[in-house]
Amino acid sequence: MNADITISYFGIIGRRMDTIQNMQVVLAIAEKGSLTAAANHLETSPPTIVRILAATEQHLGVRLFDRTTRKVRLTDEGALYVETCRHVLGEIAQVEDALRDRRTEPVGTLVITAPVLFGRLHVSPILNQFLLQNPRVTARLLLLDRVIDLIEEGIDIAIRIGPVDALDLVVTPVGSVRQCLCAAPAMLAGHPAIETPEDLIQVPFIQNLGLMPNSQFTLQSASGRHEIRPACIRLATNHADAAIPACVDGLGVGVFLSYQVEDAIAAGKLRVILPEFEPEPLAISLVYSPSRRLSARTRAFIGWAKTALGNRFPLECE
């Protein structure tokens, strides 16, 4: 490489590094709300922030902020540039983290939460295998049938079933689980045959509040959707461990997740009814903080769980 080419190459690299620095400054101003706060966040001086911002605006040929002595406000062009900065810097951070993780052995304590029965049957086995493969990782597995605050409780990863309302968290679907209608053979023998969704209206029901928060549910099939509101709710409960025995005892029909009743079905204590008219499957998701600095152990388990849970519960719903 001759001298002219070398100077040109390093000049290009220098300009690219300046662009990254400029993006970091603009993003800090937008997120912190002032030039002084941005300077404090980036551990530099306000004059440096002013100089970099002026140079960035001159290079782009647009004004990014309307500024007064006390505050700054993004212009339309500034808002567009800030979104681009977030995307570009986020991509760079992810690449850096991925490369760093390749030379960083997972180590430390991993804290995971999952629903009780699903956690016992499906999360615990894959976590055990993960720990065997990563001897420097320890884990706390909290099995809870309630949604908890991940940040407040110090949770690294939550495994959740169904819709997740968490705009400030990353929600990654990794599989799906069927919902099914079940009843005890004795109960079915004592009532008219259930051949259509509408036949369910007049039979007694067990309302599993986790899957039927209202006294109705929706079935779907090739012929369309069916909204069903049972006329008789014999028992309403917020826990499958109470709903399933009631269904086995013949109190009524119930809606359950397939893994919750697989043993009772295999033993002949429950039968699946109307299998061609099932509620929509529910997504199984990994939920975690959107931090760009996830630990190597957290990243490693996310990758492991995506494969392991995906193999157990192929994704049928988006």
CATH number at residue 158: 3.40.190.10
Which one, of 162, 246, 171, lies nearest residue 210 by Cα?
162
Which one, of 132, 240, 130, 224, lies nearest residue 177 by Cα?
240
Note whether 202 and 266 are same-domain residues. Answer: yes
Token readout for 307 is 């494969």
- Are 250 and 204 in contact by the 8 Å Cβ rule? The answer is no
Judge whether residue 1 has pLDDT over 50. no
Q: Judge whether 317 lies within some domain.
A: no
Q: Judge whether 232 lies within some domain.
A: yes
Out of 18-22, 99-103, 234-238, give the one with best mean pLDDT: 234-238
The domain boundary, picked from 83, 102, 121, lies at: 102
CA distance linking residue 156 with residue 159, whole number of Å: 10
Note whether 198 and 153 are same-domain residues. Answer: no
Which one, of 186, 208, 174, 152, lies nearest residue 287 by Cα?
174
Q: Judge whether 286 lies within some domain.
A: no
Is residue 25 packed enough to be buried (19+ CB in 10 Å), middle (13-18) or exposed (0-12)? buried
Is residue 243 packed enough to be buried (19+ CB in 10 Å), middle (13-18) or exposed (0-12)? buried
Q: Judge whether 156 lies within some domain.
A: yes
147 phi/psi in degrees, rounded to 5: -85, 130
Q: Mean pLDDT across the stretch 179-187?
A: 95
Q: Judge whether 282 lies within some domain.
A: no
Note whether 238 and 149 are same-domain residues. Answer: no
Task: State how beta strands 204-208 and 232-237 pair.
Answer: parallel
CA distance linking residue 117 with residue 293, whole number of Å: 31
Judge whether residue 17 has pLDDT over 80. no
Q: What is the pLDDT of residue 292?
A: 53
Q: Tell me, what CATH number does 15's domain have?
A: 1.10.10.10
Q: Name the residue with higher pLDDT: 290 or 197.
A: 197
CA distance linking residue 287 with residue 25, whole number of Å: 30
- Are 4 and 48 in contact by the 8 Å Cβ rule? The answer is no
Q: 231 is in which domain, residue-wise?
A: 179-273
Q: Judge whether 289 lies within some domain.
A: no
**Among 57-71, 127-141, 261-275, 301-315, where is mean pLDDT lowest?**
57-71
The domain boundary, picked from 78, 102, 126, lies at: 102
Instruction: Tell me the average pLDDT of the chain.
Output: 87
Q: Judge whether 195 lies within some domain.
A: yes
The domain boundary, picked from 102, 135, 155, lies at: 102
Q: Judge whether 52 lies within some domain.
A: yes
Note whether 199 and 243 are same-domain residues. Answer: yes
Q: What is the pLDDT of residue 18?
A: 82
Note whether 42 and 77 are same-domain residues. Answer: yes
Note whether 44 and 121 are same-domain residues. Answer: no
Residue 201 identity? I
Token readout for 220 is 């779907």
Note whether 304 and 268 are same-domain residues. Answer: no
CA distance linking residue 84 with residue 30, whole number of Å: 13
Q: What is the pLDDT of residue 14?
A: 45
The H or E element spanning position 109 is strand 108-114
| Sign of the alpha-carbon dihedral angle for 187, 193, 195, 201 | negative
pLDDT band of residue 160 (cuts 50, 70, 90) is very high
Token readout for 54 is 């002026």
The H or E element spanning position 273 is strand 271-273
Q: Helix, strand, or coil here: 198?
A: helix
Note whether 145 and 91 are same-domain residues. Answer: no
Q: Mean pLDDT across the stretch 191-198?
A: 90
Note whether 22 and 54 are same-domain residues. Answer: yes
Note whether 161 and 307 are same-domain residues. Answer: yes
What is the total count of domains within the chain? 3
Note whether 162 and 187 are same-domain residues. Answer: no
Q: Virtual CA dihedral for 296, 93, 289, 64, nearest 10 degrees? A: 170
Note whether 304 and 244 are same-domain residues. Answer: no
Over residues 274-295, the pLDDT tens digits come to: 999 988 999 999 999 886 567 8
Reading across the β-sheet that carries 179-183, which strands appear in turn?
232-237, 204-208, 253-257, 179-183, 271-273
Over residues 81-108, the pLDDT tens digits come to: 999 998 888 878 767 766 665 557 889 9
Q: Where are the alpha helices (DSSP H) in the chain?
A: 3-32, 35-42, 46-60, 76-102, 116-118, 124-133, 150-153, 185-189, 240-248, 258-266, 296-312
